[in-house]
Amino acid sequence: MSVTLLSVATAISQAILGAIGSVLPQPASGAVTNVNTVDGLAALIFAAILLLASMLNTIVLIWWERKLLGRFMDRRGAMHVGYAGLLQNFADGIKLFRKDTVKPREADTLGFWSGPTAYMVTSLIIFAILPVSTGWNSGSLPLSLLLALAVFSFAPLFIFVSAWSSNNKYSLIGGMRSAAQMIAYEVPILLAVVAVVLVSGSFDLQTIVLEQTNYWFWVPLFLALVVFVAGMLAEMERIPFDLPEAEAELVEGWNTEYGGMMFAFFMLTDYLRALLGSFLIVLLFLGGWTMPGWVPAAATSFPLAGIFWFMLKVYIVFTVFVWIRASLPRVRTDQLLRVGWNRMVPLALLSVVLAALLVTVKCLPVLGCIPTLGG
Amino acid sequence: MAAEGVRKEPKSADNPILWVARPMATAARQFGKSLIRPSTIVYPFERLEDPQFREEVAVAAGKPIGVGAVWDNYRGVHALNIATCISCNLCAFSCPDLCIDMVTVPGGDPKHPKKCPEIDYGKCSYCGFCSDACPEGCLTMTTRYELSTAKRSEMVYSPAKLYEVFQRKLPMNPVRIELPENEDAILLDPPLCIGCNACSRDCPTQCITMIDIPKVAPKPGEKPAKRIWKEPVINDSDCVRCGTCISVCPKECLFWGSRT
């Protein structure tokens, strides 16, 4: 509650503008050190820090996946650029950046160029909403969970726009599949979230995390966790639900026609969304930045301890995603939709019922009671 | 009721939980194994032929990776010991890709130039027939496998270059010490021979000696035979069965056959 990211950004902005204002003559200096100017620059700095942090994390996440997948496949993954290949993704990024981006002649210009950008931007917005630790985000939003999920579900629209405007049959099939899949799995995800919201009594992610001080929600709401993870795998289009990209059948799915930096946008955003999915799972089910009581106080009280534990959990969740990717084959479209509507929705409904039971019981024998911060 | 010839699915196929759990357990086991050491080697830095690396790997993983009988039989670039080469041509004869040329190297006398194999690795299929055919064991295959060059002409290894490979003393595939039992021998059809000495002159092992034979008087009414009264005698134990004598014989009086 003391130091938030926004207050840090404001302090930096004040320092910069104060230094400029002290040099300038009076009327101009007054305008520069104005509260509105300071706040505007603070917002920009805040956004820049968020962008930098999320992008760096995404790139490290890609490295982590490459290394893990390597070991799962009995090889090493990236090795030579930087320590253990840490800088390999930067090298790849530079390579993609230098490449030409070609638009097919028959493609729709506006949709073709704006699709990837909008896809990336809508995914990046969510980072400003999700709290990584107390005070990391822009503040306590009363409906932050709802907002995050709403922005998260924009993606199929932009994927479909870019697939449609590519004017390529593989892109179109990929886009169709992507839209069908994301809409099919949106429902069970939201129902699983409803279970969490019922127990915590709040749409505010900070409150939801603080509700989990006695026990993390995955213990009583295990069913909801399973549904949420499966749904998130489909939303992130990762194996076994990577039908929209199915390399073997659809070339590269909805990003077949994209090359160079536009492809990099799609690639980065896929991992951004993987990161976001891991964020949401940690926030909703794994206690966010809080640690159970038996963890020694020294381990949870050092500076930035909240962010440390949060990111540790995020990377563990992502490791499980990679593990699933290394193990399971891709499902068929009909299997995917059948599992989505016939299995996931009833399971999610069941988890909502269980959550309602938990709310009426209030206390569990071993785990203890849920605090009632949200009322 | 399963159709004839259709593989029965295991019982676990009925349990959807196992569809997920089984592959994940397998992947986790593989992950644990390769955490110690993946099967791949970091090639330019680690080399299978490096004995120190072999030892390290054997210690690290309990058993060597890709090291063993197969590796010891590896057929890579040839090593040629020019000193013991007898210019018998057998390597070039046995080559199925016709990638071996016999080229003159310094060291022979002007009458009998010394010829050693020059190998074009652009054509070579590494079958190893040449090193099997080599009677002196001077052409062997080593474990060297790095051949990439910028020019196609550099793929042709001259005898001198092959000798350089030999001098590096790389591990070689087992050199055959004894020639296999060979029943074939080179026989002579005496009435055709004119005693020209070509076979004896060109024999790489000098196992052919020309011996004097009694002069046969011409029958009455016939011209005296135009020939030298000598005949080749072949020492089978020294002969490498290269067939040079047969190919140089102007009268085709030498042929393959069995002494028994």
**Model pLDDT for residues A260-274, shown as the tens digit of each residue:** 888 888 888 889 989
Q: How many alpha carbons fall within 13 Å on the CB side of residue B199? A: 32
Name the residue with higher pLDDT: B122 or B5. B122
Cα torsion B19, B21, B22, B28: sign: positive
Write out the DSSP string of A268-279: HHHHHHHHHHHH
Q: Which of B40, B41, B42, B43 has the most A C-beta neighbours within 10 Å, making it the best mutation to test the interface with A? A: B40
Distance CA A115, CA A111 (A): 6
Give the Cβ contact number of residue A315 at 10 Å: 16
Question: Is A74 touching B (CB cutoff 8 A)?
Answer: yes
Q: Which residue range(s) make up the domain with A344?
A: 106-369
B51 within a domain of the structure (yes/no): no
How does DSSP classify residue B179? P
**pTM of structure:** 0.75
In the block, tokens 């055959």 appear at B176
A31 within a domain of the structure (yes/no): no
B135 within a domain of the structure (yes/no): yes
A336 within a domain of the structure (yes/no): yes
CA–CA min distance B126, chain A (Å): 29
DSSP element (H, E) containing B242? none
Q: Which residue range(s) make up the domain with B207?
A: 184-258
B40 within a domain of the structure (yes/no): no
pLDDT class of A320 with cuts at 50, 70, 90: very high
**Three-class SS of residue B101?**
strand
Token pair recorded at residue A37: 């100017």
**For residues B128 and B46, is the Cβ–Cβ distance under 8 A?**
no
Q: What ipTM did this prediction achieve? A: 0.74
Are B149 and B90 within one domain?
Answer: yes
Q: Are the beta carbons of A324 and B24 separated by less than 8 Å?
A: yes
Q: Which of B17, B30, B36, B41 has the most A C-beta neighbours within 10 Å, making it the best mutation to test the interface with A? A: B30
B5 within a domain of the structure (yes/no): no
Quote the percentage of chain A above a pLDDT of 90. 7
Q: Residue A31: is its pLDDT beyond 80?
A: no
B34 within a domain of the structure (yes/no): no
A333 within a domain of the structure (yes/no): yes
Q: Which CATH number goes with the domain that contains B204?
A: 3.30.70.3270
Final residue before a domain boundary, out of B167, B192, B226? B167
Are B153 and B82 within one domain?
Answer: yes
B67 within a domain of the structure (yes/no): no
A56-70, A157-171, A239-253, A310-324: which has the minimum mean pLDDT?
Answer: A239-253
**Nearest CA to B157 among B176, B139, B135, B133?**
B139
**For residues B157 and B91, is the Cβ–Cβ distance under 8 A?**
no
Are B157 and B83 within one domain?
Answer: yes
CA–CA min distance A128, chain B (Å): 35
Are B253 and B212 within one domain?
Answer: yes
A87 within a domain of the structure (yes/no): no
Check residue B96 and give its pLDDT: 92
How many domains are contained in chain B?
2
If 0-12 CB within 10 Å is exposed, 13-18 middle and 19+ buried, where does residue B178 land? exposed
Q: Residue A368: is its pLDDT beyond 70?
A: no
Are B190 and B135 within one domain?
Answer: no
B140 within a domain of the structure (yes/no): yes
B176 within a domain of the structure (yes/no): no
Are B83 and B163 within one domain?
Answer: yes
- pLDDT tens for A56-115 read 989 899 999 999 998 888 888 888 888 888 888 889 889 988 988 888 888 888 888 888
* Average pLDDT over every residue of B103-123: 86
How many domains are contained in chain A?
1
A322 within a domain of the structure (yes/no): yes
